[in-house]
Structure 1
Amino acid sequence: MGLMFRKRKKYGPIILNFTENGFSSWSVKIGRWSWNSRAKAHRVDLPGPLSWKQDKSRA
């Protein structure tokens, strides 16, 4: 297994994700809620190390 390149650029609540192949996905994060364009999933950060995720493709 080799090294993986990942880069994140934040512009307010919008986050752009890049890999070694270029642009990967974008996310929106407002408070504890976030949504990712690649996974098409909503996520809510819960207290401690927990989080809740709703996958849109299975809902």
Structure 2
Amino acid sequence: MGVMFRKRQKFGPLILNFTEHGFSSWSIKIGRWSWNSRARAHRVDLPGPLSWKQNKSRRRERASDHR
């Protein structure tokens, strides 16, 4: 397994994520709640090492669905 480069820049509640290829995604974190643009997931930090995550992936609608 190779070494990976990752960097995070924080601007208040806004977090910008970078990889070796450049900009990767952005996140917003307010208190224990956060949302990530790449995963499109809501996450809530729970006590201890636990967290809860709900995926919010986009569902593409096809033309055949609108009959």
Shorter-chain TM-score bucket reads: over 0.9
Distance 1:24 1:41 in 2: 15
Identity percentage of aligned residues: 86
Q: TM-score, normalised by structure 2?
A: 0.84
Greater Rg by CA: 2
Q: Cα RMSD over matched residues?
A: 1.1
- Decide which structure has greater helix share: 2
Q: Which has the higher contact order (CA 8 A, sep 6+)?
A: 1
- Count of matched residue positions in the alignment of Structure 1 and Structure 2: 58
For structure 1, the 5+ residue unaligned runs are: none
4+ residue runs of structure 1 moved beyond 3 angstroms?
none
